[in-house]
Each structure stands twice: as structure tokens, then as C-alpha cells.
Structure 1
Amino acid sequence: MPLHPDIAQVLAALPAPPPGPLNPEAMRAGEESQVPPVAERLPLHSVEDAMAGEVPVRVYTPVEAAAYGLLIYFHGGAFFLGSLETHDHVARALAKETGLKVVSVGYRLAPEDAFPAGLEDCHAAVRWAAANGETLGWDGTTLAVAGDSSGGTFAAAVAAMAHDEGFGRITHQVLLYPSLDLDFDVDRYASLRENAAGYGLETAGLKPFNAFYLDGGADPADPLVSPIKRADLTGLPPALIVTAECDPLRDEGEQYGRRLTEAGVEATVSRYEGANHGFVANFSWIPAYHRVFEETAAFLKGRS
């Protein structure tokens, strides 16, 4: 199936990237400039900024209720982009469709804060949520981790860290077109060649975009950097892995799902046809892709 026509139209209208090396500060400013004002965002019962220890978080309460399940969300952005603001719309949609209280994590970014700073922040936020369940109104059931792209890396890694520590409270992991193998050898997965160019994220851009993270000491051979390299996946939480047909990272996500299943972990892999990398954050206004939030809700409610 070709790229969805609405996505193709948007990509065709994008200006060429500026020449020269990537500029994190300029790219972040460009992202932030596209964030709509609060008055134009999806309304919820409440949206509040807080601190999970030293980590900034934003707490989304969908409706007034006595108690809630919790979803801890890690935004994407190749470990150096993204923020509570740029992914505010994703967190709002997750809260509305799942009915869970969502805690979005403003983790530290590369290159200013080297590995494992961002991962440690995500891990700390999950621990904080569990320890402060009474304040958050947690009902003691669902405690899910979710992330898109590099946020999916962190979600998978945090789930593994929790398992290894004997912290058994994480009930689900939701990985949206996750980056699970930071070894970008183009022969590792067919999708790296099939979707190499013309779909937004390009295979040739993977190394430079992730260089800020890798150059700061994140070793692609480390399973906390590349979760697919973890040898033993047994005992991890049930997973929903959403992939995009036209994404260079498609095959590593789907392979991770197969490996989880082989390890006895309940894993659902859901490929969205005609979609590209980032479609949840960028194109969920298309009805066929907004369905990802409904699918996430069904997955979480089915395993509470």
C-alpha cells in the first residue's frame, strides 16, 4: 500500500532541511513554535504540571472519578527533541480514549544530558507514580508505560529495568513505532532498505539524528539502549507494538513482538498501512490513524 495521500501531500510541501549539521536548539524552537495555544487543545477534566522528584511531569485527568488507572508516557524525538508541550496533544488523546490518568514525563535530553540521564528520569517517574498513587488517585490496578519512537525505547527499557529490580507493578507496555535497535546497519532489517527514502524519516538520517544520544555514551549493544538485544524477554509486561508500514523502523518493532511472543509474553503487533514514522504525533487527525488511541484503550482495558 502506498503512503496515505494526506501524509504524502504534507511531506511534499515540507521545505528542504537546512544544510550543515543538525542544530538541536533551532530544531527544538521550530517544534515549539508549532504547538497550538491551550485554548485550542483537547479539553480534559484537568491538566496539571508537577514534579516527580526532580523530573517535570504533566498529569492529565480525563474525567472526574474516584480513582484511575495510570499511564506513564514518554514522548519521542530521537532523544534530543520533543517536550511536554510538543507531545501534549498525544497525552491528551491517550487520556481521553483510555480513561486513564496520564503522566507525561519531561525527561532530560541529549546532548546536554548524556545517557543514561533521560532513561533514569523515565524510570524515576514510574517509581514516583507508584509511590504517590494515593495522591494521584491510582486505583492500584493498571500501571502502564507507553512511548512513541525514542519514547518507545525508554518504555521498553524501563519495563525491563523494573522486571530486573523485582518491581512488578508495571502491567502493560505500549510501544508506538519504537526505536528498539540503534545499530543502523541497513542489512539488519528489510524495512531499512524498503523505506529508506521518501517517507519522512529516512534511513540515512538515523545515524545523525541519534548521534547526540550515542555520542554521549549510549552503546547500541546495551539492551537498555537497544531493547531488542536483551537476551531473555521472559516475564516482561504484555505489549502492544504499533508499527507503520512506511517506516524504516517497522521491522525491528515487529521482530521484537515476535521475540516477546516466543518468550511467553503476550504481545500484539499492529501495523498501520500507509502510515509513516511519527504518524501518531503528526497525523492522528486522520481517522484511520486516530484509531491507534482506541486500540490502545482496548489493549489496556483487556489486561487491567
Structure 2
Amino acid sequence: MLHPQAQALLQLMADKGVPPTHTLAPQEARRLYLERSGYTQPDRPQIAESRNVSIPALHGTIAARLTRPVVPGAASGDALPLLVYFHGGGWVIGDLDTHETLCQQLADLSACAVLSVDYRLAPEHRFPAAVDDAVAAAQWAAVNAARLGIDPARIAVGGDSAGGNLAAVAALALRDAGGPALRFQLLIYPVTDQRRGSESYRTRATGYGLGADTMAYFCAHYLHDEAQHATDWRASPLLHKDHSRLPPAFVLVAGYDPLRDEGMAYAQALSAAGTPATLVSYERQMHGFITLGRVLDEANDAVHLCADQLRRAMR
């Protein structure tokens, strides 16, 4: 059964008349997503540094935010491992601010720097703009390791939902391009198959926060041609023909999430191809729960678990 705290949150949203994302224009959906995050996210930890950086790209610049944790016993200039993080939000909503608390938590608990990437959003910038930005950000971080104060041999990618999709796709793209080599993938309820035909899409289609209607809305805004692009591995990394020789992955899914099955399938595909992959399912939780630590106790446990996996991988 759905966790009682998650049930209570969904009931509160219904009582307050929070409109489903798929009923809103993208700009309004972005505003409300940012507004709601302030009520449900936990307090931010103490960190050593948070600064905005600009990543040059063919279309101009990509905004990003670098977070450095307080590391007892380390000098301020010591090279730290780096997690390049891509926020969730269906490629349509979300930004550096909606996920700043999570990025700071991950930095604090893992002793890794985190570079949060403000990739271009749809529908203003459709597929594969976000993919191009994700790959460019990871490449730039490796090239500019000294400037960022990070260790180029210890770079990971990660993200939640659409951001987990971008992390998985970036790992595949960088492997296929010959580098830079990544140490780890942190994939939090990732989108891996945009054909949207799994059993969890049918059994979790409505009533648990993110629903099939909202995922259809996101995909329609993101993909130019759904029939064609849904089978492109850059949109659906599960459909790549080769999942071998990828960095080890930690895949976290939620039981009451239409994306549950495709996250599990991705972990299975990695393992079957010889890529180390650990899968954990929070069976009583819904999509998006990891950022809701003020109201969901298991969210804080999940953040600690993700950070611990990241810390271990970066040793």
C-alpha cells in the first residue's frame, strides 16, 4: 500500500485544488512547481560554496550551479569527486532552484561536489536539445576540472526522472564517443522507455501524483515526432543496443510510479550486459518523493542511500 504520509500529501493536494501539470501551460506549470517545492523540501545543510557557472555551448551558454560540501580535514582547494546532476521535471519544468536542496544534500552526505545543470527545456527547445546540453556539461566539467577544483578521474552523472533519463543517455553517449570516462551513474526513477507501454503505466496510471496523462503531456512537449523519437535511444536509453562497458549504476524506483517498470528494466539490462547495477525499490512511495523530505520520512532515507552509494563509488 502507498505510504500513509504519501496518501496524506496527495489528499492535501486534492483538498487544495492543486491542478494536474498536464492541464497547465508550461510557464504556469514551472511557476507552480517552484512554488510548491518550498513547502515540501527539508532544510538545506551547511555547505562550503555554491556558485553559478556558465558552460559554453554551440547555442550560447548553459547555466549551471556548483556546490562544494564542507569536508572535515580537507583543504579548501582540494580536488573533490564531482556529480554532474540533471533535475527532473519531464524536460518541461524544473530548474536549478527546484533541485538545489537535493543537490546540497547529496554534496553534504557524499563529500562530492555537485554541478547542477540548467539544460534547455521543452517545448521551447525540443529533443535532443536537453541531451546535447547534458553531454556538453559532462564534457566541459572534465576539461575544466582544475578550474572547478574537481578530480577528472572521479566524475559521475545523475538525475531524477527526466534528469535520470539524461544521465543514462549521457553515460551511453560518452562511452560511444570514447570519453571522458565516468565513475558512476545515479539514476533516480529514470525515464528509460518513452513508448510508455509497461504494466506499471497501466496499474499506476492515475491516483498517485505523476500519472500517464502528465507523462503524455511531457513527452508531447519534448519530442518533435513521438512515433519516431520514442524509439531513439537518446530519448529511450533502454532501447540502446549495447548496455555494456558503462559506469556502475544505482537505480532507485518507487512502487506507485508509472515509471517503475522501465527503471527496473534498465537496471536489468545493465546487469545482463555486464555493467554493475544495484536496484532499490521504495515500494510504498510515489514518483518524485525524494525531494519531499519535509513531509515524507522515507525521502530522507532515500537521499542518504543515494549519497552513500555515490560516496562509495567515488572512493
The answer, yes or no, to whether TM exceeds 0.5 is yes
- Which residue number in structure 1 is paired with residue 287 of structure 2? 277
- The yes-or-no answer on 1:151 pairing with 2:151 is no
Name the CA shift for 1:75/1:20 in 2 (closer, same or farther; >3 Å): closer
CA distance, structure 1, for counterparts of residue 21 and residue 37 of structure 2: 25
Question: Residue 34 of structure 2 is aligned with which of 32, 35, 38?
Answer: 32
- The yes-or-no answer on 1:43 pairing with 2:46 is yes
Name the amino acid aligned to 1:96. D
Cα drift, residue 16 of structure 1: 4.9
- The yes-or-no answer on 1:202 pairing with 2:206 is no
Contact residue 115 and residue 216 of structure 1 kept, 8 A: no
Structure 2 stretches lacking a partner, 5+ long: none
Name the amino acid aligned to 2:5. D
Contact residue 98 and residue 293 of structure 1 kept, 8 A: no
Cα drift, residue 112 of structure 1: 0.5
Cα drift, residue 284 of structure 1: 6.6
CA distance, structure 1, for counterparts of residue 37 and residue 191 of structure 2: 24
Name the amino acid aligned to 1:192. Y
- The yes-or-no answer on 1:57 pairing with 2:64 is yes
Name the CA shift for 1:267/1:20 in 2 (closer, same or farther; >3 Å): closer
Of stretches 12-21 and 161-170 in structure 1, the one that deviates more from structure 2 is 12-21
Structure 1 stretches lacking a partner, 5+ long: none
- Which residue number in structure 2 is paired with residue 95 of structure 1? 107
- Which residue number in structure 2 is paired with residue 242 of structure 1? 252
Name the amino acid aligned to 1:42. P
CA distance, structure 1, for counterparts of residue 252 and residue 179 of structure 2: 25
Contact residue 35 and residue 85 of structure 1 kept, 8 A: no
Cα drift, residue 208 of structure 1: 1.8
Cα drift, residue 197 of structure 1: 1.7
Cα drift, residue 140 of structure 1: 3.5
Q: How does the TM-score come out when normalised to structure 2?
A: 0.89
The number of equivalent residue pairs is 298
Sequence identity (%): 36
Cα drift, residue 120 of structure 1: 0.9
Question: Residue 125 of structure 2 is aligned with which of 108, 113, 125?
Answer: 113
Contact residue 7 and residue 283 of structure 1 kept, 8 A: no
CA distance, structure 2, for counterparts of residue 13 and residue 286 of structure 1: 13
Cα drift, residue 214 of structure 1: 1.6
Question: Residue 76 of structure 1 is aligned with which of 75, 81, 88?
Answer: 88
CA distance, structure 2, for counterparts of residue 172 and residue 284 of structure 1: 28
CA distance, structure 1, for counterparts of residue 44 and residue 311 of structure 2: 25
Name the amino acid aligned to 1:80. V
- Which residue number in structure 2 is paired with residue 124 of structure 1? 136
Contact residue 175 and residue 181 of structure 2 kept, 8 A: no
Contact residue 90 and residue 162 of structure 2 kept, 8 A: yes
Contact residue 22 and residue 214 of structure 2 kept, 8 A: no
Of stretches 155-164 and 211-220 in structure 1, the one that deviates more from structure 2 is 211-220
Q: How does 1:257-296 map to 2 (within 5 A)?
A: 257-283=267-293, 286-296=296-306
TM-superposition CA deviations, 1:277-304 (whole Å, max 9, x none): 0011234753332122222233223333
Name the CA shift for 1:21/1:237 in 2 (closer, same or farther; >3 Å): same
Q: How does the TM-score come out when normalised to structure 1?
A: 0.92
TM-superposition CA deviations, 1:131-153 (whole Å, max 9, x none): 11111111343200001000011
CA distance, structure 1, for counterparts of residue 51 and residue 265 of structure 2: 37
Name the amino acid aligned to 1:31. Y
